[in-house]
Chains A and B, each alone.
Chain A
């Protein structure tokens, strides 16, 4: 398991792919989840999708009957990467509160 931190874009893309989603849907959901703060640009999203497929974190789903757009979804490995990152982020936030709150 890689211990490198994820970029904000990578994190949100993985999160959006907890359910099957197509490219533009990921952009919309990321903006929704972050209340408009994180705006994924098309080039950034596309590059990240290609890299994540290569790493085996996500897969491209076979086309359904009525679908024209490619959909993607997390793999078991992708879920593990995401859980790992959430633990890392929790540690960061936890320590931040402790230090600034005078507990440490």
Chain B
């Protein structure tokens, strides 16, 4: 086992993306910089403690976007589904992906749309399966739908907080 590389299995829920980011930055503070991502797996390489700031968010794959990110000094790490991971040297000024409330709300809106579609598909499959003989699968779909709706509620809560701020500020 190479002592400069560490692989960790960990799983975060979509609506806990801020916790995921906090954890990745904690790893960076401890000298482990995110090098690649996979479904439920994170690979780190040894780096100076706090050398990099990690940011993750939902975004479509787009060369122009990667160009703008690279222009601002960020490195693309990888993606899981529609979630992209970037890092930037912390010595540069603070690294944010969204610099105003409107774009933060827009980002939460994309996550909501994803959860709504995923929840809707599960609800539909649950109903279809419950009509046939596959009642156990129907239950799995319905539980998944409820879970995704719970996530939608969590994202909605975050959005409401931001909207309150926007009453007085841009």
Contact = CB atoms under 8 A, between A and B. Distances in A.
A42 B100 contact: no
Interface string A43-84: 111111000000000000000000001100000000000000
A7 interface: yes
B72 to A, nearest CB: 5
Contacts of B106: 47
Interface stretch (B1-9, B59-67, B112-120, B146-154): B59-67
A-side binding surface: helix, strand, loop or mixed?
Answer: helix
Interface in B64-111: 64-65, 67-69, 71-72, 74, 93, 96-100, 102-103, 106-107
A23 B57 CA distance: 19
Given A23-B64, A23-B67, A23-B71, A43 B100 contact: no
Instruction: Kindly state the interface size class of chain B when it binds its partner.
Output: 20 to 34
B170 interface: yes
A27 B73 CA distance: 12
A83 B33 CA distance: 47
A70 B64 contact: yes
29 contacts: A7-B170, A8-B100, A8-B170, A9-B99, A9-B102, A22-B71, A23-B64, A23-B71, A24-B67, A24-B71, A27-B71, A38-B99, A41-B98, A41-B103, A42-B68, A42-B69, A42-B74, A42-B97, A43-B59, A43-B97, A43-B98, A44-B99, A44-B100, A46-B65, A47-B103, A47-B106, A48-B103, A70-B64, A70-B67
Interface of A: 7-9, 22-24, 27, 38-48, 69-70
Nearest 6 pairs of A and B residues by beta carbon: A24-B71, A41-B99, A23-B68, A43-B97, A44-B103, A41-B96
Given A24-B72, A44-B99, A47-B106, 11 more contacts: A8-B100, A22-B71, A23-B67, A24-B67, A27-B68, A39-B93, A41-B96, A42-B74, A43-B57, A43-B98, A46-B65
